[in-house]
């Protein structure tokens, strides 16, 4: 043992070295756990998304409205949709009658505006013309046809693709929509969808960690039950269909 170093000093040095090593190991493991937790939280995002909700919704003014970036505009859209729904559902207005009353109001306003100049001894003002461009109708028709054809193509690919899991999910989704539509009419379904589009994204953006964890756990449970069903029943159907094609 070197001179000038006692046994107590030697033991204290050893203990300090061990404590430093343990503290470094704990700090490294803490940062590793934090990093792995952040990676797992990114992997468990809803639908596997890697971009913010605002970017997924388009990142423009429509996304600002849906995420309530401007509360006055978003509240105005929601109030307008609620007013239309109240007119059709509670006051029992029909679409044609509502259009006729709106045209009556516009015609009376233009009549007063154009003939008030004679009473006030002023020159007759030019009444602006309401003209809907042909391009607007063409764009609406193109967009509608593209969306309808994509939906029909998806349903046909699901029916003929052989993916039983996707097929059953689509069938259950259509059945759920049919049951909901039997409870209420088409206008109410549109209103529910509009309200959901203006409330669900902002709620998800605010509580995305809690919602992602809940959905991830629910999906894991559904996948576990599907594996049990797949090993028992669905696998037999797939084998039977494969044998039928082989004999052909």
Residue 191: count of CB within 10 angstroms of its CB: 19
User: According to the model, what pLDDT value does residue 17 have?
Assistant: 56
Q: Can you tell me the distance from the alpha carbon of 131 to that of 181, in angstroms, rounded to the nearest whole number? A: 36
Least Cα distance to 88 among 22, 154, 187, 177 occurs for 187
Q: Can you tell me the distance from the alpha carbon of 105 to that of 99, in angstroms, rounded to the nearest whole number? A: 10
Q: Can you tell me the distance from the alpha carbon of 154 to that of 158, in angstroms, rounded to the nearest whole number? A: 6
User: According to the model, what pLDDT value does residue 105 have?
Assistant: 92
Q: What percent of the chain has pLDDT over 70?
A: 69
User: According to the model, what pLDDT value does residue 127 have?
Assistant: 72
Q: Tell me, what DSSP letter sits at residue 230?
A: I
- Reduce the DSSP state of residue 6 to 3 states and report it: coil
Q: Can you tell me the distance from the alpha carbon of 186 to that of 229, in angstroms, rounded to the nearest whole number? A: 36
Q: What pTM was computed for the model?
A: 0.55
User: According to the model, what pLDDT value does residue 37 have?
Assistant: 45
Q: What is the dihedral of CA 159, 164, 169, 174, to 10 degrees?
A: 30
| pLDDT beneath 50, residues of the chain | 1-5, 18, 22-43, 246
User: According to the model, what pLDDT value does residue 242 have?
Assistant: 53
């Amino acid at each position: 043992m070197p001179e000038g170093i006692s046994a107590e000093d030697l033991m204290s040095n050893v203990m300090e070295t061990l404590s430093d090593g343990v503290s470094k190991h704990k700090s490294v493991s803490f940062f590793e756990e934090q990093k792995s937790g952040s990676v797992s939280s990114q992997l468990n995002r809803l639908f596997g998304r890697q971009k913010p909700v605002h970017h997924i919704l388009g990142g423009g003014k429509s996304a600002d409205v849906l995420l309530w970036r401007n509360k006055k505009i978003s509240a105005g859209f929601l109030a307008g949709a609620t007013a239309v729904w109240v007119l059709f559902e509670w006051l029992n207005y029909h679409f044609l009658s509502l259009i006729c009353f709106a045209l009556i109001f516009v015609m009376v306003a233009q009549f007063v505006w154009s003939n008030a100049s004679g009473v006030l001894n002023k020159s007759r003002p030019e009444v602006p013309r309401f003209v809907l461009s042909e391009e607007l109708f063409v764009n609406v028709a193109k967009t509608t046809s593209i969306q309808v054809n994509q939906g029909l193509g998806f349903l046909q690919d699901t029916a003929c693709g052989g993916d039983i899991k996707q097929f059953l999910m689509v069938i259950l989704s259509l059945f759920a929509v049919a049951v909901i539509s039997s409870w209420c009419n088409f206008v109410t379904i549109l209103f529910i969808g509009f309200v959901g589009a203006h409330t669900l994204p902002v709620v998800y953006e605010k509580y995305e960690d809690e919602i992602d964890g809940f959905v991830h756990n629910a999906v894991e449970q559904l996948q576990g039950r599907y594996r049990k069903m797949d090993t028992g029943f669905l696998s037999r159907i797939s084998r039977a269909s494969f044998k039928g094609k082989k004999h052909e």
